[in-house]
């Protein structure tokens, strides 16, 4: 094991999701030296597996007034400091005929109390014509991967380090204070000196806190989502009711995301959705959009929410645990955890953790992330060279900007493989390009991992054109390319 990183004062942030990168950006702007470590790439956790919604807060006004207010305030802030990564689509809330007028009036009152602007609205094409009570709010869409890249760029430009594919496996104290972080990376075990550590490990936060023997009261909840090709509506569409399964449609990039569910789980790893979960989501969707069965489904995926179970909260259902967040100081001095919250509130969460860390290290500069705009994510232009991914218009020159990354990491940086073909053709083209860098055998392994991940998401939603695409993929592999098929394939 080598002590490779750091002699000077250093704050180590564990987790390169929205929260961890937000904390590092905040500390960096205060002049505090930071390093971010992640076991995967940027957005490896829930930040790369969410619904894409910039909440207005209207979803929470009936159940969680604090979360509703936080969302509205942060919604307005992010439009200022992260404008290139926010799409101002607006959002509709539509009540089904089964919803009582009393509930609608309570919802309107809740929006008023949370200062969420609301106006009566007309339905968009495709919505159930029976759902006549419709209101517009300032929901939007977050381009998550791009916003993560912008944060990472800002941190690096300010001198911070971001080390991906490093899993933190140990934390060593000295005289009751955090002193050294041990991580496992591509070159084996490494150590990094830390004067403070922030656990922003999302659903893994419990595992990380147990490294300094202070387990967290964390409950995990998984949510399933379905992707449809094309933007099926111009605005976000929400069911006006107490939050439930299958009640939000988000137009995101070139696609639409329908979800989600809320079921307790015991693993931080996002599970493959089951057929039953997908069928349940479709049933809920058809009530709201009678033609949803005709839309071209692309795949399903899931994410895991870390929820902080406050002392005394004995709720059996994860839906009854607040979407608010908490910042904790551990008995080990210099160790902090941040748990819960939303993508929409990452900046606020980061501010509150950074306030504690800065006070602990005696830095007086206040938070600046509410006023300083994020840098542009990257300056990759589309080259004149041919497209490798035709569905998502990704050219070789765009990939070149991320040379050295694996196929899976390239996917999230450039969006290649995310379109209707789900990598059937572009997977092979990008693999061929990768094989010039790492050799054919290693590139083939990357392709296999990339394909397995895509296939898992397709399999739970095998109907219509998606089933045809899946069959085409298999015919290309097993007939045209002569790959040998495993018994469990």
Ligand X SMILES: Cc1cc2nc3c(=O)[nH]c(=O)nc-3n(C[C@H](O)[C@H](O)[C@H](O)COP(=O)(O)OP(=O)(O)OC[C@H]3O[C@@H](n4cnc5c(N)ncnc54)[C@H](O)[C@@H]3O)c2cc1C
Of the candidates 10, 24, 34, 37, which one interacts with ligand X according to CB under 6 A?
Answer: 37
Torsion of CA 459, 460, 466, 469, to 10 degrees: 0
Q: Would you say 231 or 396 has its CB closer to ligand X?
A: 231
Q: Would you say 77 or 477 has its CB closer to ligand X?
A: 77
Q: Would you say 18 or 297 has its CB closer to ligand X?
A: 18
265-300: b or e for each residue (b if 16 or more CB lie within 10 Å)? beebebbebeeebbebbbebbebbbeebeebbbbbb
User: With contact defined as beta carbons under 8 Å apart, do 284 and 245 qualify?
Assistant: yes
Q: 417 — alpha (psi -120 to 50), left (phi > 0) or beta? A: left
Of the candidates 11, 12, 16, 327, which one interacts with ligand X according to CB under 6 A?
Answer: 16
Of the candidates 18, 86, 155, 307, which one interacts with ligand X according to CB under 6 A?
Answer: 18
Residue 195 CB, nearest approach to ligand X (Å) = 18
Q: Would you say 38 or 351 has its CB closer to ligand X?
A: 38
Give Cα 412 distance to the centre of its chain: 11
The answer to whether 422 contacts ligand X (rule: CB under 6 A) is no
The answer to whether 191 contacts ligand X (rule: CB under 6 A) is no
The answer to whether 341 contacts ligand X (rule: CB under 6 A) is yes
Residue 111 CB, nearest approach to ligand X (Å) = 17
Residue 259 CB, nearest approach to ligand X (Å) = 6
The answer to whether 305 contacts ligand X (rule: CB under 6 A) is yes
Task: Point out which span in 76-84, 194-202, 376-384, 447-455 binds ligand X (CB under 6 A).
Answer: 194-202
What is the distance between the alpha carbons of residues 37 and 14, in angstroms, rounded to a whole number? 5
User: With contact defined as beta carbons under 8 Å apart, do 194 and 210 qualify?
Assistant: no
Determine whether 28 is exposed, middle or buried from the number of CB atoms within 10 Å of its CB (0-12, 13-18, 19+).
Answer: buried
The answer to whether 344 contacts ligand X (rule: CB under 6 A) is yes
Residue 192 CB, nearest approach to ligand X (Å) = 12
Name the one residue in this structure whose structure tokens are 């893994």. 204
The answer to whether 206 contacts ligand X (rule: CB under 6 A) is no
- Alpha-carbon separation of residue 283 from 93, 142, 286 (angstroms): 19, 26, 5
What is the distance between the alpha carbons of residues 12 and 37, in angstroms, rounded to a whole number? 7
For ligand X (CB under 6 A), the number of binding residues is 37
Task: Point out which span in 60-68, 302-310, 369-377, 394-402 binds ligand X (CB under 6 A).
Answer: 302-310
Task: Point out which span in 59-67, 227-235, 336-344, 454-462 binds ligand X (CB under 6 A).
Answer: 336-344
User: With contact defined as beta carbons under 8 Å apart, do 201 and 14 qualify?
Assistant: yes
Query: One symbol per residue from 223 to 252: x for binding ligand X (CB under 6 A), - otherwise; what is it?
Result: x-----------------------------
The answer to whether 200 contacts ligand X (rule: CB under 6 A) is yes
What is the distance between the alpha carbons of residues 301 and 226, in angstroms, rounded to a whole number? 7
User: With contact defined as beta carbons under 8 Å apart, do 300 and 457 qualify?
Assistant: yes
Q: Note the helical H segments in 223-380.
A: 275-288, 346-360
Residue 324 CB, nearest approach to ligand X (Å) = 11
Residue 164 CB, nearest approach to ligand X (Å) = 9
The answer to whether 457 contacts ligand X (rule: CB under 6 A) is no
Q: Would you say 226 or 389 has its CB closer to ligand X?
A: 226
Q: Would you say 22 or 375 has its CB closer to ligand X?
A: 22
Determine whether 430 is exposed, middle or buried from the number of CB atoms within 10 Å of its CB (0-12, 13-18, 19+).
Answer: buried
Q: Would you say 118 or 168 has its CB closer to ligand X?
A: 168
Of the candidates 6, 10, 34, 38, which one interacts with ligand X according to CB under 6 A?
Answer: 38
Task: Point out which span in 299-307, 353-361, 400-408, 409-417 binds ligand X (CB under 6 A).
Answer: 299-307
Q: Would you say 47 or 300 has its CB closer to ligand X?
A: 47
What is the distance between the alpha carbons of residues 94 and 112, in angstroms, rounded to a whole number? 17
**Vertex 469 angle, CA 468 and 473, to 5°:** 120
Tell which residue, 429, 427, 461, 426, has the closest CA to residue 447. Answer: 427
Q: Note the helical H segments in 189-274.
A: 205-210
The answer to whether 12 contacts ligand X (rule: CB under 6 A) is no
Task: Point out which span in 80-88, 292-300, 340-348, 458-466 binds ligand X (CB under 6 A).
Answer: 340-348
Interactions with ligand X, residue window 40-59 (CB under 6 A)? 40, 44-47, 50-53, 55
Pairing of strands 218-229, 263-265: antiparallel
Contacting residues toward ligand X, per CB under 6 A: 14-20, 37-40, 44-47, 50-53, 55, 167-168, 200-204, 208, 223, 260, 303-305, 341-344
């Amino acid at each position: 094991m080598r002590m490779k990183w750091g002699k000077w004062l250093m704050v180590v942030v564990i987790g390169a999701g929205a929260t961890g990168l937000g904390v590092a950006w905040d500390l960096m702007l205060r002049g505090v030296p930071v390093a971010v470590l992640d076991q995967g790439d940027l957005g490896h956790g829930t930040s790369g597996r969410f619904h894409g919604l910039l909440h207005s807060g209207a979803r929470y006004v009936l159940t969680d007034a604090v979360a509703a207010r936080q969302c509205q305030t942060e919604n307005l802030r992010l439009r200022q400091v992260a404008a290139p990564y926010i799409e101002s689509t607006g959002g509709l809330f539509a009540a089904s005929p089964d919803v009582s007028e009393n509930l609608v009036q309570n919802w309107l009152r809740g929006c008023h109390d949370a200062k969420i602007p609301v106006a009566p609205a007309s339905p968009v094409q495709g919505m159930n014509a029976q759902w006549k009570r419709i209101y517009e709010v300032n929901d939007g869409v977050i381009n998550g991967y791009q916003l993560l890249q912008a944060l990472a760029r800002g941190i690096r430009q300010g001198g911070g380090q971001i080390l991906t594919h490093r899993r933190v496996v140990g934390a060593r104290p000295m005289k009751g204070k955090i002193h050294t972080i041990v991580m496992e990376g591509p070159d084996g075990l490494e150590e990094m000196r830390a004067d403070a550590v922030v656990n922003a490990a999302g659903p893994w936060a419990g595992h990380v806190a147990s490294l300094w023997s202070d387990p967290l009261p964390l409950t995990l909840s998984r949510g399933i989502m379905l992707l449809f090709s094309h933007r099926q509506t111009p605005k976000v569409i929400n069911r006006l009711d107490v939050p439930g399964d299958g009640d939000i449609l988000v137009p995101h990039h070139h696609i639409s995301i329908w979800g989600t569910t809320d079921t307790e789980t015991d693993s931080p790893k996002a599970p493959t959705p089951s057929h039953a979960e997908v069928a349940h989501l479709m049933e809920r969707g058809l009530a709201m959009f009678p033609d949803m069965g005709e839309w071209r489904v692309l795949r399903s995926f899931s994410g895991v929410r870390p929820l902080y179970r406050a002392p005394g909260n004995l709720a059996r259902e994860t839906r009854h645990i607040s979407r608010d967040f908490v910042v904790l100081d551990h008995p080990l001095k210099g160790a902090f955890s941040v748990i819960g919250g939303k993508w929409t509130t990452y900046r606020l969460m980061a501010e509150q953790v950074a306030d504690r860390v800065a006070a602990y290290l005696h830095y007086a500069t206040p938070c600046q992330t509410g006023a300083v705009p994020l840098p542009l994510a990257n300056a990759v232009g589309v080259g004149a060279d041919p497209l490798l991914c035709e569905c998502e218009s990704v050219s070789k020159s765009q990939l070149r900007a991320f040379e050295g990354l694996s196929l899976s990491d390239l996917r999230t940086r450039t969006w290649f493989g995310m379109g209707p073909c789900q990598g059937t053709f572009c997977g092979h083209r990008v693999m061929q390009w990768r094989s010039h860098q790492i050799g054919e055998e290693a590139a083939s392994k990357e392709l296999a991992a990339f394909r397995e991940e895509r296939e898992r998401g397709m399999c739970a939603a095998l109907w219509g054109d998606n089933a045809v695409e899946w069959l085409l993929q298999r015919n290309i592999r097993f007939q045209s390319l002569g790959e040998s098929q495993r018994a469990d394939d």
